[in-house]
Amino acid sequence: MALLKLLDPVRRMFTPAPPPAEPIALQARRLAEAGQYRAAIDLLAPVPADELDLQTLRDLVRWRNAAFAPGTPAPNWPPSVPDLFPGIQGPPEIPVKSLTAELLASAIRHHGCLLVRGLIDAAQTRHLAGLVTRSLDIGTAGLENIDQDSWRPDTHQPPSPAFAPYPLEPGGGDVLSNKGRLFGLTSGGVWMGDAPGALADYLAFLKTHGILRVIEDYLGERAYLSLGKATLRRVKPDALTAWHQDGRFLGPDIRTVNCWLALSDCGDGAPGLDLFPRREAGLVESGTQGAFDWWIVGDGTADEIARTTPFVTPAFKAGDALLFDQMLLHRTSARKGLTRDRLAIESWFFAGSTFPMKQLPLAL
């Protein structure tokens, strides 16, 4: 035994070292090349975006689209739930630790929305706020000097994790087109699919807190994010605003939840959301009574609704979120005295069985 111990150093000299572990990004790429997109996504999900190279981040967005599968709609949906917030006049509020699919369903089905305090933690909030600012700074740089008819995002800025436009297929319509992309940028919004670093970290943070699981439990099936309805936003105090329901664009029968996440305090010095805290039975009349476009609910119509349900403007702390679906009547806050920009992320999650394909699905 003693002799064997003496020979150990010699044996180690002639024993080949084990091969280095394959980088996780390369492992994911091999899975994707084999068509195992879900496995590739899950493998990279815990990895912070700043530990992945740009090509992997861009490919991850593409793999999310390739992983889409419509699925089977949940039977007996929407869920039948009692009002667990009786007597509440404004939006029901809960801390994130109390969030369940049952509470989400009850709030949406009876009050139109659910306000979740502290959806993500302070460090994650600051991190995402920095990513939103960087993505918008890069994405909007120099837009005041471009020819809108000839603008192409791939020649606008060198690609980076903060802004690397997703390649769009021809025929995407006005929404998923360079025209729609440019309209969003000039309005203070970057599609999250065009900001691959922010997309990766945002979804990772929601998974950490169990938010995606709750949304899928409520929808009754696997959910998908939308390229056209997942946006990093920076809203000016004097931003144009109008009452609307997203069901006017998406359809009233879609199965969806919007996670509207505030990344800065708003509703007081910065524009938050005005909303009617009630469940609308259908789409409210639009394009009339002072509306300046077909999808807008005119102020006259809103005033009629306010006679029975006054609108409210909740105060959001950075990290708070409002969860709602396509029926909520709302708008960006419109009032005098606002002085600060608002940073936020708007992300619509759709049941795979009813996904509006023009919006381009991204697996979670």
Backbone angles phi, psi at 258, to 5 degrees: -95, 125
Q: Which residues touch 339 (CB under 8 Å, ≥6 apart)?
A: 237, 269, 270
What is the mean pLDDT for each group of 10 consecutive residues in the chain (364 residues)?
A: 54 54 90 97 96 97 97 91 95 98 98 98 98 95 76 76 90 75 92 97 97 97 94 94 95 95 94 96 95 95 96 97 98 89 98 91 97
**Concatenated DSSP letters for 96-125?**
GGG--HHHHHHHHHHHSEEEEETSS-HHHH
Do 324 and 140 contact (CB within 8 A), yes or no? Answer: no
Residue count of the chain, please give it.
364
Q: What pLDDT does 335 receive?
A: 81
Per the omega criterion (within 30 degrees of 0), is the bond before 159 cis?
Answer: no
Q: Which residues touch 313 (CB under 8 Å, ≥6 apart)?
A: 267, 272, 273, 274, 275, 333, 335
Q: What pLDDT does 37 receive?
A: 98
Q: Which residues touch 316 (CB under 8 Å, ≥6 apart)?
A: 262, 265, 266, 267, 272, 273, 322
Q: What pLDDT does 319 receive?
A: 98
Do 341 and 262 contact (CB within 8 A), yes or no? Answer: no
Domain extent listing, the chain: 2-66, 93-363
Task: Return the amino acid letter for 268.
Answer: D
Do 4 and 23 contact (CB within 8 A), yes or no? Answer: no
Backbone angles phi, psi at 284, to 5 degrees: -75, 145
Q: What pLDDT does 178 receive?
A: 86
Outline where the chain has alpha helix (H): 2-14, 24-33, 37-44, 54-66, 101-111, 122-140, 153-156, 178-186, 196-208, 211-219, 247-250, 299-306
Distance of alpha carbon 132 from alpha carbon 202, whole angstroms? 11
Q: Which letter, b or e, does each residue of 6-33 get, where b requires 16 or more Cβ atoms within 10 Å of its Cβ?
A: eeeeeeeeeeeeeeeeeeebeebbebbe
Q: What pLDDT does 220 receive?
A: 96
Do 266 and 337 contact (CB within 8 A), yes or no? Answer: no
Q: What pLDDT does 7 receive?
A: 54
Tokens of 222: 């696997």
Distance of alpha carbon 75 from alpha carbon 353, whole angstroms? 11
- Nearest by Cα to 78 from 326, 299, 292: 326
Residue 316 gets which letter from DSSP?
B
Q: What pLDDT does 151 receive?
A: 73
**Concatenated DSSP letters for 29-77?**
HHHHHTT-HHHHHHHHTTS-GGGS-HHHHHHHHHHHHHT-----PPSS-
Query: Thinking of the domain 93-363, which architecture would CATH place it in?
Result: Sandwich (2.60)
User: pTM score, two decimals?
Assistant: 0.92
Distance of alpha carbon 73 from alpha carbon 183, whole angstroms? 34
Distance of alpha carbon 254 from alpha carbon 248, whole angstroms? 11
